[in-house]
Structure 1
Amino acid sequence: MPDIRIALTDKTIAQLPAPKDGWYLARDTDLKGFFVVIGKRKRTFTVQGDLRQGGKRASSVRVSIGNAGEMSTRAARGIAKAYLARISQGRHPRDDKRPEAGSPAPNGACGGAIAGVTLREAWQRYLEAHLIRKGRSEVTISGYRDHVERVFAEWLDTSLHELAMDPARMAKKHDDVTRENGPYMANGCMRTLRAIYNHARKTNRSLPADNPADAVDWNEEERRNTGMGSADLGGWFMELASLENPVRREFHLFTLLCGSRPAALQQIKPNHIDFWRRTLHIPKPKGGRKKAFDIPLSRQMILCLIRAIRLGRQMHPVQALEWVFPADSESGHLAETKEDREILSKWGNDLRQTFRTIATAAGVSEIDAKLLMNHAIPGVNAGYITRHKLLENHLRSQQQTISSAVFTALGASITQDRALRDWLGRARPRPEGTVSAGRQFVVRMAAGMTQGSS
């Protein structure tokens, strides 16, 4: 193909056709001597100019800047201007091995093509090499993606060097997000940007050492104290009993009884439940697969799971084959667990805080509560505790203590209130019968039978 002359941008370069054979040049209409070499498999930013000695042309110099698939046009153009300036001074661009790493070039470009990495490129590497490779949960990845691809959408094709050299831009963005989305979201977005920049700098030492996120004045964050005490549970159970969707009702109850993060519970499957051992396996909690753990099940938790499975089979028979809490969603399981506060006043992490509050009131030790919630234990004690050795007896006993405290708080209402009685009042079998029935039910469900037993 013959050479062409166009205004070079990321978009126009991406739209250029690949040649059937050989290569051709796409020259920039704005900057003389700056062009892209278009090959069958690669597109390379390049600069060309005449070296002069004594006012006369001595030789022509052509120098590649970098792969167009790995750096932005804006960054490449900045480097091209620096190279052309050297050529105009009679110096070869590669003399002195390019401008020193970290030193600013014209228009804020950084010497060396590697410093032209954009936020989009750095995010993709962070996603693949850090989040996915280390087994971070889908919910965690989704949160990072929302920050980068929604909140920082207008910066995706901006180089990290440019962001680092404009701290006022960071501070203004943090102020804008605080005003529009709240202080917690603003802080979270900047933490994400800080992590991506630090990760990118490991392989891009020419990036400035100062992280652009350090320019913001962080919003003050306070722990939300939204948990319930024993006296609050009666009213909350009444609200929950009137919830229209019974699968969601069981989900919120189970969240309260186990104290786990809702995002992890949304994705539990029937084969994660071991009714014989009375445990529920959580394969991908916050922190990824390496944080996988088993939750010991109390009698009330077993009954809750059995009800959820049976109701799920009735409401969503196809999705229930795979999920304990099925739904008509793209994933097939509950994906959104928020409720109208006027209908259900507490849900999500409110119930996680409630679990911790009830556990303390019931006399469960701080270490046992942390183990049940899969929290890290600070100090040297963590290295001397073997969690799975405590699971079968001690932790299950502590779990039963918490569940019993929850239901004891209901008092006589569990038999006197019709909604509660219909939902919970008649399901009080012995522990042994509960385990056996639950195990038989799950085995039959896995075999595709339509009838279960409780």
Structure 2
Amino acid sequence: MAKRQPTRLTLKTIDALPWAERDATGRVQSYTVRDTDVKGLLVVVNAETKVFKVQRDLYSADKGPDGKRRKLGTRRVALGDVRDFGTVDDAREAARKVIADMRNGIDPNRPPEEPKRHDYTLQMAFDGFVDSRERKDRRPSTINGYHNLFRRYLTDWATCPLKEIGDDTLGVDDLHRRITKKNGPVAANQTMRLLRAVYNYARRKQRDLPPNPVEAVDFNHERKRTEVITDWPAWHEQVTGLRNPITRDWYLFLAFTGMRKGAASEARVEHFDAKAGFLHVPDPKGGPKRAFDLPLSGYLVKLLEARIAENRQIFGPNCPWVFPSHFSDKGHVTECSLRELPSPHVHRHSFATAAQAAGLPDFDIKLLLNHKLSDVTGGYIHGTALGDHLRECQERITAYLLGRIHEGENVVPLRRVSA
């Protein structure tokens, strides 16, 4: 490309520059004219166009060991057609910006990199979901359950972007099928419920995610627990025949209160009020916001008083647990399920069934079990203000169960307790 003597460019001088000619082969003999005001600014004259360009050396952004920047080569950058600029000063200003970038090591001819978008992975979504549940005071056992399910069945997908999982409905359905065959229908359903909850949580953070892929899953049928204790004399004979008196009392306590296994195991002496006839439960299922006072019948008060007195003789006067254990790292009973006895949760079902048979209204049974009262009226009912009434309900259930255990001996005549 031919060059002409540098000059101070103006629109008038540029307009006077003759158009480039073509050689014998028809090739355009373009030429350049450099500006004397801004070193590197030039105008390229073609057969039909005149274009402002910048030509300067490009250096690395970082200095080398010698304190100097390394030359990366020469770059020529097109600014645009002369007719696109109102004045040559406008072209000079554009040239100065390009030159400043090149001085900072920025190659103007290299397309700018698109900002990296961090893929929102299943692991990231799961961590956020768990954190949100911890902030809502979910029980540690609930949180551990999330981690166990994720570790056992979803680890292989931990680094997968959620968008890919959302688009792979067949893969999600296939995972449900595989877990069903290998680990059973309940484990498969629980895993999908967790995945559904985590994905729904993530969609509130990343709005462009596909619909929840768990919608494609045909959940397995799960039979509801129907087992209850019916032969109470045989049950009582088995329980009272246990060698460990703490385990014996723990099972009696479960049967006569319907308490969940975890809350019963964590019962503390400081929360037992024998005089008022209550056991405070500070951290039941649902967390501290669901804390309640469990009413105790006279039979249960005597059971706990005797248990605590015996604990002090064996475990020392400062034993904090109602049901302590030498074999647990936590210091209290954690797992007492015995093959010859129904599971702890069956005892809860049996208690609710006994409460109904003893004539208690549904609302009272829900309050004793610390179930949430879901309808509007339930929001106005506060179990802690019904202490005397609920203790009477508890007495009715205790009388019913003792009557069943002893085959009708000393049974208090049943009557329906009014709500």
5 Å-filtered alignment, 1:354-373, equals 354-373=350-369
Q: CA 1:312 to 1:211, structure 2 compared with 1: closer, same or farther past 3 Å?
A: farther
Shift of 1:394: 0.7
Q: CA 1:163 to 1:307, structure 2 compared with 1: closer, same or farther past 3 Å?
A: farther
Letter in 1 for 2:245: P
Q: CA 1:317 to 1:194, structure 2 compared with 1: closer, same or farther past 3 Å?
A: farther
Over residues 41-93 of structure 1, what are the superposed CA-to-partner deviations in whole Å (9 max), with x where a residue is unaligned?
A: xxxxxxxxxx9999xxxx99xxxxxxxxxxxxxxxxxxxxxxxxxxxx98544
- Structure-1 residue corresponding to 2:309: 310
- Structure-2 residue corresponding to 1:296: 295
The separation in 2 between residues aligned to 1:52 and 1:376, in whole angstroms, is 74
Whether 2:246 is the aligned partner of 1:207: answer no
The separation in 2 between residues aligned to 1:307 and 1:226, in whole angstroms, is 31
The 3-state SS of whatever aligns with 2:279 is strand
5 Å-filtered alignment, 1:299-338, equals 299-317=298-316, 321-327=319-325, 328-338=327-337
Letter in 1 for 2:260: R
Shift of 1:414: 9.1
Q: CA 1:384 to 1:413, structure 2 compared with 1: closer, same or farther past 3 Å?
A: closer
Of Structure 1 and Structure 2, the greater helix share is in 1
The 3-state SS of whatever aligns with 1:294 is strand
Q: CA 1:267 to 1:207, structure 2 compared with 1: closer, same or farther past 3 Å?
A: same
The 3-state SS of whatever aligns with 2:275 is coil
Using the size of structure 1 for normalisation, the TM-score is 0.63
CA contact (8 A) 2:403 2:409 kept: no
2:121 corresponds to which of 118, 122, 129: 118
CA contact (8 A) 1:53 1:90 kept: no
- Structure-2 residue corresponding to 1:404: 399
The separation in 2 between residues aligned to 1:242 and 1:152, in whole angstroms, is 44
2:185 corresponds to which of 179, 183, 186: 183
Q: CA 1:240 to 1:149, structure 2 compared with 1: closer, same or farther past 3 Å?
A: same
- Structure-2 residue corresponding to 1:387: 383
The separation in 2 between residues aligned to 1:53 and 1:220, in whole angstroms, is 68
- Structure-1 residue corresponding to 2:196: 194
Shift of 1:402: 0.2
5 Å-filtered alignment, 1:102-251, equals 113-114=117-118, 116-128=119-131, 130-208=132-210, 210-229=211-230, 232-251=231-250
Shift of 1:276: 2.1
Shift of 1:316: 4.3
Shift of 1:150: 2.1
The separation in 2 between residues aligned to 1:155 and 1:324, in whole angstroms, is 43
Q: CA 1:166 to 1:251, structure 2 compared with 1: closer, same or farther past 3 Å?
A: same
For the aligned residue pairs, the C-alpha RMSD in angstroms reads: 2.9
Q: CA 1:181 to 1:316, structure 2 compared with 1: closer, same or farther past 3 Å?
A: farther
| Higher deviation after alignment, 256-265 or 151-160 | 151-160
Q: CA 1:412 to 1:216, structure 2 compared with 1: closer, same or farther past 3 Å?
A: closer
Letter in 2 for 1:407: L
Identity %: 35
Aligned residues: 310
Over residues 252-288 of structure 1, what are the superposed CA-to-partner deviations in whole Å (9 max), with x where a residue is unaligned?
A: 1111111121112111111111112111111111111
Higher Cα Rg, which structure: 2
Whether 2:264 is the aligned partner of 1:265: answer yes
- Structure-1 residue corresponding to 2:84: none
The separation in 1 between residues aligned to 2:239 and 2:144, in whole angstroms, is 29
Shift of 1:395: 0.7
Using the size of structure 2 for normalisation, the TM-score is 0.68
- Structure-1 residue corresponding to 2:347: 351
Q: CA 1:383 to 1:168, structure 2 compared with 1: closer, same or farther past 3 Å?
A: same
CA contact (8 A) 1:247 1:311 kept: no
Q: Give unmatched runs, 5+ long, in structure 2.
A: 1-74, 79-100, 103-108, 411-419
Letter in 2 for 1:396: R
Q: CA 1:399 to 1:53, structure 2 compared with 1: closer, same or farther past 3 Å?
A: farther
Letter in 2 for 1:321: C
CA contact (8 A) 1:170 1:216 kept: yes
Letter in 2 for 1:211: N
Q: Give unmatched runs, 5+ long, in structure 1.
A: 1-50, 61-88, 99-111, 416-454
| Higher deviation after alignment, 167-176 or 358-367 | 167-176
CA contact (8 A) 1:283 1:292 kept: yes
The separation in 1 between residues aligned to 2:363 and 2:117, in whole angstroms, is 52
